[in-house]
Amino acid sequence: MRRSDICLYLGPADRTELEALRTNRNTPRKLVWRAGIVLATADGVGTVEIMRQTGMSKPTVWRWQERYLDEGVPGLKRDKTRPSRVPPLPREVRLKVIAKTVRETPPNATHWSRATMAEAVGISPSSVGRIWADAGLKPHVVKGFKVSNDPMFEEKVTEIVGLYLDPPDRAVVLCVDEKSQIQALDRTQPGLPLKKGRAATMTHDYKRHGTTTLFAALDVKSGLVIGECMPRHRAKEFLSFLRRIDRAVKKPRDIHLVLDNYATHKTPEVQAWLEKHPRFKLHFTPTSASWMNLVERFFAEITARRIRRGSYSSVDDLEDAIYDYLLQHNVKPKPFVWSKSADDILTRERRALDALDQIRGNR
């Protein structure tokens, strides 16, 4: 290989960048000598001298001179991709892994792992992982579900979603439910505080000091919550909470209550009280569809933010914490926004029922 020494012009910006790369101690070694080749060439240094300064061969010097001429400084920073030495898996093997993942289970487990699938198919666990990632499969993940069998599912969904998306004028829509059996748990030892490199700690064992039940009514429009703690959740306590709501909402506004099918909501005593208070209108969620009640979202927040990681020496201590959370929540309430239309929910429900029917038919 023979070639006359070349000359190239190095602009001020490129020269500054290459000098910075060459002098920076954090620059990768290969980028240092590449920058050195270009800088030396721009300074008129011959090929033999560049070879001596950088310790590179003549073809290497020529290659990076040409790369700079073609692509500039970015070309020096980029390594050309090379084909893998390991041949790609055949398409038949990939399809076999996917088919076994979705249609079969291993003989001694409920789901596949990378190791068990690799052994069954005869490839490496990392190859199995790549195939699953490309196909969007996660055999180790399982999610719970429950399709409602309520014969009035469509009517109830349409009614409740209509209240959320288009509430009636001069009326209040409240989502009502009870969070029962909240335990006042006192940890047996104080936990260690959060610090750098260590999460906060909490003992796994605890002492029970009784339970309380939180009755809550979430205003769909404003996000305000009417809450009251009671020792039990019978019809007697539910009636007491209804009277609390009656006092809190100014007359003559109608009150639409979204609640579940718990037996205490339908006792003769409750029905008799509702007949005397016609502005209360009840809307029951479908069976196995408590997720439609927005107050459940509030219960999830108070559990995660205030109750679960707390330590309480008595029921009164627990209730004080709950009332404090309610007070602070109502200072700056934020409503939960319902985004799904009734048609979207019903379409998903029909699709789930069709899939279940197909599975039952194949058995």
% of the chain at pLDDT higher than 90: 69
Phi and psi of 256, rounded to 5°?
A: -100, 120
Amino acid 3: pLDDT: 59
% of the chain at pLDDT higher than 70: 98
pLDDT in tens, 5-30: 677 888 899 999 999 999 998 999 99
For residues 45 and 54, is the Cβ–Cβ distance under 8 A? no
Taking the C-alpha atoms of residue 319 and residue 196, their distance in angstroms, rounded to an integer, is 33
Indicate the pTM of the whole model. 0.70
pLDDT tens digit at each of 363 positions of the chain:
455 567 788 889 999 999 999 999 899 999 999 999 999 999 888 889 999 999 999 999 999 999 999 899 998 988 877 776 777 889 999 999 999 999 999 988 999 999 999 999 999 999 999 999 999 999 999 988 888 888 999 999 999 999 999 988 889 999 999 999 999 999 888 888 888 888 988 888 899 999 999 999 999 999 999 999 999 989 999 999 999 999 999 888 999 999 998 888 999 999 999 999 999 999 999 998 889 999 999 999 999 999 998 999 999 999 999 999 999 999 999 999 999 999 999 999 999 888 888 888 766
Please give the DSSP secondary-structure letter assigned to residue 222: T
pLDDT in tens, 135-162: 999 999 998 888 888 899 999 999 999 9
Is the bond into 252 cis (omega within 30 degrees of 0)? Answer: yes
For residues 324 and 229, is the Cβ–Cβ distance under 8 A? no
Taking the C-alpha atoms of residue 282 and residue 258, their distance in angstroms, rounded to an integer, is 6
